[in-house]
Amino acid sequence: MCFYGFTALVFSQPAINGTTGSYPFPQNQNNPFGFHASVYNNQDIINAYDKWYADCVTSYGAGGFLRVQRPNDSGLAIDSTVSEGIGYGMIIAVYMNDENLFDNLWKYEQTKVNTNGIMNWYIDADGNVETTPSGANGATDADEDMAWALLMASKQWGGSGTLGSTYQTLAGAQINRIYNKEIVGSTPVAGDFFTDINPSYFDPAYYREFANADSDTADKAGQDLSSIKRALVSGAALPSSLRNELGSRDVAVLQCYATAELGVIAYETPALEGMVVNESVVIEIVKPGTGDPVGEGEVGEVVVTSFNPDYPMIRLATGDLSAVLAGRSPCGRTNMRIKGWMGRADQTTKVKGMFVHPSQIAELAKRHPELGRLRLRVTRQGEQDAMTLAAECATPAGALAEAVTASLQSVTKLKGAVEFVAPGSLPNDGKIIADERPVG
- State the pLDDT at residue 281: 95
φ, ψ (nearest 5 deg) of residue 437: -70, 140
What does the DSSP assignment read for 260-286?
TTTEEEEE--TT-SSEEEPTTEEEEEE
The CATH homologous superfamily for domain 349-435 is ANL, C-terminal domain (3.30.300.30)
In the residue annotation, 84 being an active-site residue is answered as yes
In the predicted model, is pLDDT for residue 369 greater than 50?
yes
Q: What one-character-per-residue DSSP string does 351-366 give?
A: ETTEEE-HHHHHHHHH
Residues with Cβ < 8 Å from 257, sequence gap 6 or more? 234, 264, 265, 266, 267, 275, 320, 322, 338, 340, 341
Return the pLDDT at 346.
73
Evaluate if residue 322 carries a pLDDT over 50: yes
How far is it, in rounded angstroms, from Cα 52 to Cα 66? 14
At position 420, the amino acid (one-letter code) is F
Confidence at residue 100, expressed as pLDDT on a 0 to 100 scale? 95
Rg of the chain (C-alpha set)? 24
Question: What is the C-alpha separation between 386 and 376, in angstroms, rounded?
Answer: 10
Mean local confidence (pLDDT), 239-260: 84
Residue of 285, 284, 289, 286 lying closest to 376 (CA atoms): 289
Instruction: Supply the pLDDT for residue 411.
Output: 94
Residues of the chain with CATH 1.50.10.10: 1-222
CA–CA distance, 197 with 256 (Å, rounded to integer): 13
In which band, very low, low, confident or very high, does the pLDDT at 88 lie, cut at 50, 70 and 90?
very high
Specify the pLDDT at position 325. 93
Q: Give the list of residues 6+ apart from residue 15 with CB closer than 8 angstroms, or none.
A: 21, 24, 97
How far lies 299's CA from each of 180, 268, 275, 286, 336, in Å?
42, 19, 15, 8, 15
Catalytic-role residue among 84, 143, 145, 182: 84
pLDDT confidence of residue 139: 94
| Annotated catalytic residue within 99, 103, 141, 144 | 141
pLDDT at 18: 46
Q: How far is CA 356 from the centre of its chain?
A: 22
Name the phi and psi angles at 67, rounded to 5. -140, 165
Mean pLDDT across 385-397: 91
Choose among 225, 151, 240, 238: nearest CA to 199.
Answer: 238
The total of other beta-carbon atoms located within 10 Å of residue 33's CB is: 13
pTM over 0.75: no
Give 55: exposed, middle or buried? Use CB within 10 Å, 0-12, 13-18, 19+: middle
- Whether 126 is a known active-site residue: answer no
* Domain ranges in the chain with CATH number 3.30.300.30: 349-435
CA distance 169 to 171: 5
Strand 433-435 versus strand 374-381 pairing type: parallel
pLDDT given for residue 42 in this prediction: 87
Q: What is the CATH number of domain 1-222?
A: 1.50.10.10
Can you name the residues that pair with 70 across neighbouring β-strands? 80
Q: What is the per-residue pLDDT for 5? A: 36
| Residue range 30-50, pLDDT digits in tens | 766 666 666 778 888 899 999
Highest mean pLDDT of the ranges 13-27, 170-184, 342-356: 170-184
Contact of 270 with 231, CB cutoff 8 Å: no
Which of the pair, 227 or 418, is modelled with greater confidence? 418
Cα three-residue angle 368-371-375, rounded to 5 degrees: 105
What is the pLDDT at residue 223?
A: 58
At residue 27 the predicted structure's pLDDT band, cuts being 50, 70 and 90, is confident
User: End-to-end alpha-carbon separation of the chain, Å?
Assistant: 31
Would strands 337-338 and 324-325 be described as parallel, antiparallel, or unpaired? antiparallel
List, for residues 114-169, the tens digit of each pLDDT value.
999 999 999 999 999 998 889 999 999 999 999 999 999 999 999 999 998 999 99
